Structures are given as C-alpha cells and as structure tokens.
Structure 1
C-alpha cells in the first residue's frame, strides 16, 4: 500500500513538474520571438557595417524589399542613433531613467501599451512634457500578425486615442509587440498614420544578465552604426543602472542621440532588403529601378 502511494505521489509530482516546465518554455519562446525575427529577415548584416563600427555610407544603389518591412535602421551619413524603451510592464525605474536622460540632454522614444498608459497616466504626461517621442506599442501586446486588419486597427487606435486625450499629441511611431508583423500589419499601421519601427541593436536587457552585459551588448554590437535603433525596456531590472554608462560610452564613440521621429524619413517607403530606410528624393528615384511611392 505504501509502495503504491509512493508511485502515485511521484506521478503527480512529475506531472506538475512537466506542466511548470512547459509554461516556462512557452514564455521563453514568446519573449524571444521578436528577437529572432531580426535575424530571420536578414536585417543589418555584418556586411553593411564598416570595420570602424559605423554604418556603410549612404548609397543610391540598393535593392528595395519586395515585402513590406518595418524600419529597422536608417541610411544616414551622420553618426546619429536612437535609443528606445518599450513600456509594457513595470514602472519602478521610469523616474530614474527620465532623470538620467535629462542630465545628459538625451531625447528618446517610449513605445507604450494601452495597459501601461492606463496604469501610469502621469508618467505618459511627464514623458511628453520632457520632449521625448511617444510611441504606440498596441493596446494588448498581442502577436499582431495573427490579427485581421480591422483588429490591428483597433489595437493601434485604442492606445492612440488614450494618449491623445492625455497629452494632446498624435503618435506616429508604432512598434509591433514581440517584433511580430506581416504585410497586413505594416499596411494597416501606415493607413492609421504610423511608421512601423523595429530595431537593429537589442540590449537584451529583458534577459536580466546585469549592467555590464547591457553596456557590452549595445556598445560592442556588430550592427551598431549610423542610423541604428537601440531596443531597451524601462521595466527591465538593470536598464536604469546601465543607462548613464551606456550614454557616455556611445557619446565617446562619437554618436549623437536623437528620438526616432528625428532619425527616420517620415514620408519615405524606401526600405531595402535589410530593413534600412532610405530617403525618398529625386536622386534616389532616378538611380533606382523602382518608383518612389511618396514622390509627388
């Protein structure tokens, strides 16, 4: 009888353990999905980065992507980069982050979910008041490639209207949750007045590897160069502690921080096969074998 009870208890314990393990695995896959998308779409490969770490100089000869891509980075001859924070959970370090940004006179972009906006309306107002970009990160942080165009629009405009009511500002930048997108999402975002934004440098702060890891991952990243967009999270454990050194180190490398709204070309649909946005102008239109869609 005792022998039977042991096996019964052990079986229950094993089932419980397997269930917990499956939950952990599913969560890990979901979080890393967007990070892997960068490599899947072959964005900003090492071939595009010069040995000095700066992006390759502007060129009118590039291949436009046959599929609709978000903006991963920007083609610019200037050493300008953008720092961005996804705000989907947590708020303990937002004030510290804002104070460090103020200290170094750095303006960044915050991509906020509807839930975060509803939970921290005063912080949304503070971000706007201090001159940072307000970006849309969807209402419910869903994998939006699985949604219809109408559902995508609802996810976008729900947050848009909340932020406009709080700040009076019209957001124009959207980051897909998990980095997950398809043609429907990119097109719908454009119809709603948004440029879809990804990143080419991931701080990996969401993995909680520590301050030194964040600094090294960003500052020694093989994709770091002119026009890079850096991904961070305001709710990650070590981000605020790493921020000051991150800023000073990148400035020592000669980079200037600008918000994404000042880095991208808002009216250009010219995105090459590696996710790099190019300006839409007369020289580009003449030299490239495709029509510049925003050219009047």
Structure 2
C-alpha cells in the first residue's frame, strides 16, 4: 500500500500558670492578670511556636515542611537552558516545552484507509500517521542514518528536543558508535529494515530477513529490540505487518508531514499540522540537501513553534 500523504500544624497553646487565690486577689486590685513571673509585669501571651531560626524551632514543627515541586523547578531550569541554546543555535524562536506525558498511553488504531484487506480480524500492529491527543504536540522522527553529524547530537541535547530514529543497517553499520551515543542521550532506536527495500515487492521470506534481521541487528549493537517499525517509503502489505508482529513490533508509525532544510511537504489536505502529527525527516547533509542537519532542525522548529506546537517524545505516547 502506498501512503497518501499522548498535619495540620498541631500546637498546644501554652496555659497561663494557675496562681494562688491570695495572689489573685492582690493583683486584682491592680487590674492586672496573673503574671507568669508572679510580679506586676503585664502578661505577654507566648507564641504557639518559636520563630524560625530560634532555639526550639525545629522541635516546634508539627509534621513535614511543604514539599518542593522538584519537577516544576526542573522544567523551569530546562526552559531557561533552552532559551540560551536557542540563541546559540540560531533558532528564530525558543521551542515550546511539551506537557508532561500522559499517565496512560492513548489507544492507537490503524488509520482509516490504511487497513489490510481481509485482515480485519487479525490483531496486527496499527499503522498510523497521527497519535490521538488533544495536546498541541507533534513528534519528530528521523530515518535511515546516512548522515552522522556530531553537531546534531549536541544541538538536540542542548535544546532538549526529543526525536526518534528509524535505522537501516546498510546506512549505520559503518559507525554504530554514533547511534550508541545518540541512544545514551535518550533517543530510541527503531527499525527501518536492513537495506531499505520496497517490501511489497519481496517474498515473505525476504521480508522476514529485512524486518526481523534489522530487529536482530539493533538488539545486537544497542541492547534492545525495537517496538516500533517504519516500512521504507511507507509501503507495506499483510506479510509486512504479520512478520513485523512476529519479531516484536508493536506499532507502525508513518508520517503526516516531511521536513527539509528549506520547506515542509504536507500529507494532509489542509497542508497544516494537527495535534499528534508525526513529522518525518532523514539523516542527510550537504551532499543531499546542500544544507546541514542543523539547518533542517532550525527550519522545522520554526514551523512547529510558529504554529504553536511543541515537540514531544513519540515513545511516551505509543
């Protein structure tokens, strides 16, 4: 199929000492309350608890101090660092911060029109271009792995922009270390086949080699079997999805838009972004784009931010 386009403070109020009756009668004539010291000094009501910093203050605390919202403070610091990084890397605007991911991931289903005929009763991995969410977030994904630009790693780390990689072994096998470093920085490495073929043109056995073979390669070199798979060119058939499921794939994210250093290509009729849209780009550089990965990031982030969206982490929603 050809594609078309997530104590109460407890304090005991001090009692005034009980005075002897005779003393009470004596001081009554002076219109004075019973003095703590037994003299004629006016009574000063004692505070319920010592002032902070005074002796006994710690003991007077009833229950724990209010908890500090450490996560809110962390996010505040991250955004402040992002302001500095945006200036350093030449972004037109500071990227918006994504909201906290949902406690429960949304239910993903196959997009209408992307189904496999005759497979309605099969529990196949869903194929989709948009994650169901009302948040103004989108997801950035990068395919293949041809360009291994260290500037990209630094830029995305300093800007704290999440992205997901979909790797083809023939493009990455000359430098697994680059993608291992990417993984250390929090990027999930997903499956894009061994050699990037047109899968519907292959036999089931050949598709298995391409899909499950890449699962094996990623597990071997990066220690984890991917749950996400993207078929090359967005093309697949029933064998593709059945084979992908058999070797551990849970979902098949495609894309709703594609990013380049100087423009966006839209897959939707309204030529716009929507909550939950997946954006595709590639690991490319001067030889293909006459521009760098950093140039692509600057352009896609201008588009995303201008439209009032933040970039979120795909794996937090799928």
TM-score by length of 1: 0.60
2:305 to 244, 248, 251: 251
Which residue number in structure 1 is paired with residue 3 of structure 2?
Answer: 38
- Please say if 1:81 is aligned against 2:138: yes
Q: State the alpha-carbon separation in 1 of the partners of residues 263 and 299 from structure 2.
A: 12
Q: Deviations over 1:177-203 (max 9, x none)?
A: 121111221222122221222101122
- Measured on the aligned residues, the alpha-carbon RMSD in Å equals 3.0
Q: 1 CA distance for matches of 2:111 and 2:153?
A: 39
Preserved CA contact (<8 Å) 1:113 1:136: yes
Quote the Cα distance in structure 2 between the aligned partners of 1:38 and 1:241. 27
Query: Which of these residues, 199, 208, 224, is aligned with residue 169 of structure 1?
Result: 224
2:141 pairs with 1:141: no
Give the whole-Å Cα distance in 2 for the aligned partners of 1:131 and 1:231. Answer: 19
Query: Is 1:156 the counterpart of 2:211 in the alignment?
Result: yes
Show structure 2 runs of 5+ residues with no match.
6-105, 117-125
8 Å Cα contact 2:138/2:277 also seen in 1: yes
Contact kept? 2:161, 2:311, Cα under 8 Å? yes
1:242 aligns with 2:302: no
Note the 1:206-217 alignment, pairs <5 A: 211-214=261-264
Contact 1:107 1:132 in 2 (8 A): yes
1:192 aligns to 2:212 (yes or no): no
Show the 5 A alignment for 1:1-296: 37-39=2-4, 67-68=115-116, 70-91=127-148, 94-194=149-249, 195-203=251-259, 205=260, 211-214=261-264, 222-236=271-285, 237=289, 238=291, 239-264=293-318
CA distance in structure 2 between the aligned counterparts of 1:217 and 1:97, rounded to whole angstroms: 24
Distance between the aligned counterparts of 1:157 and 1:217, measured in 2? Answer: 31
User: Which residue is 2:100 aligned to?
Assistant: none
SS in 2 for 1:173: coil
Give 3-state SS (helix, strand or coil) of 1:119's partner: coil
Give the Å deviation of 1:72.
Answer: 1.4
SS at match of 1:38: coil
3-state DSSP of counterpart to 2:209: helix
- Distance in structure 1 (CA, Å) of the matches to 2:180 and 2:114: 39
Larger Rg: 2
Structure 2 contact 144–166 (Cα < 8 Å) conserved: yes
Match of 1:28? none
Q: Which structure's relative contact order is higher, taking Cα pairs within 8 Å and 6+ residues apart? A: 1
Tell me the residue number matched to 2:17. Answer: none
In the aligned structure 2, how far is the partner of 1:247 from the partner of 1:213?
A: 11
- In structure 2, distance between residues paired with 1:63 and 1:234: 26
Closer, same or farther: CA 245–178 of 1 in aligned 2, 3 Å: closer
Deviations 1:125-148 (A, max 9, x none): 011101011111100111111223
Deviation at 1:223, TM superposition (A): 4.0
Bigger share in helix? 1
State the aligned residue count.
200
**After TM superposition, where is structure 1 displaced by more than 6 Å over at least 4 residues in a row?**
none
Gaps of at least 5 residues in structure 1 are 1-33, 44-57, 206-210, 265-296
